[in-house]
Amino acid sequence: MKISCLPVGAMSVNCLILRDEATGLGAVIDPGDNAEKIHNKCITSDTTVKYIILTHAHFDHMLALEELRERTGAPLALHRHDAESLLDPRITYMEQFAGVTEPPKPAEILLEEGDILELGETKLEILHTPGHTVGSICIRSGGDIITGDTLFHGNIGRCDLYGGDEMTIMHSLKRLSELPGDYKLWPGHGATTTLSRERAANYYLKHFN
């Protein structure tokens, strides 16, 4: 699987385009803004978008969602615990920060812990990691984990917004920290990192080891 990262929007969300090299099937993760830029990258990389996936339902990760749905015809997948939040522009902060009062269409695919989304030979495993929102997820595939706003390079996601909870995110971080082996981490904002680095240097993970 190849992962391309496109920082988009005023908050520099890392929109990720996943492509199964054997089949060209792909997924767009967190289309935060600029649907045209995202779609053009899919075209130039010969990626057929099978899924659009949100790691969680916050405005900065979904400003290009509806336009990208129209351009690709791909269904939206997100965790079922964020499904209702998706439809309330106040909870997603679309209204407050983007002036958008029209909710998006409901998600076609409601994800659960342990679900597998297939892109040809590539399998995407859903890890439910609540704390930033009740439906926050990470996505594991091979040696990569997409961490959304749960875990960053040297930091973690905030838990003072709607649906956030400090104890819950710490439980999710402990779970990630205790995964065997090492992974490349692709957070929702900022630089990539590795799980081994975060275990050793991230203040919030160090005491788990």
Beta-strand (E) ranges in the chain?
A: 2-8, 13-19, 25-29, 48-53, 76-79, 109-111, 116-119, 122-128, 137-141, 144-148, 151-152, 155-156, 184-187, 193-194
Q: State residue 91 phi and psi, 5-degree precision.
A: -70, -35
User: Within the chain, which residues score under 70 in pLDDT?
Assistant: none
Taking only the tens place, the pLDDT of each residue in 67-126 is: 999 999 999 999 999 999 999 999 999 999 889 999 999 999 999 999 999 999 999 999
If one counts every other C-beta atom within 10 angstroms of the C-beta of residue 61, the result is 28
Give the domain CATH number at 133. Answer: 3.60.15.10
Running DSSP on this structure, what letter comes out for residue 80?
A: G
Task: Output the pLDDT for position 61.
Answer: 98
Number of folded domains that form the chain: 1
Q: State residue 165 phi and psi, 5-degree precision.
A: -160, 125
Task: Output the pLDDT for position 206.
Answer: 85
Rounded CA separation 138/186 (Å): 10
Query: Residue 69 corresponds to which tokens in the numbers above?
Result: 């749905």
Question: Which domain, by its residues, includes 182?
Answer: 2-206
The dihedral sign for the CA sequence 188, 75, 140, 171: positive
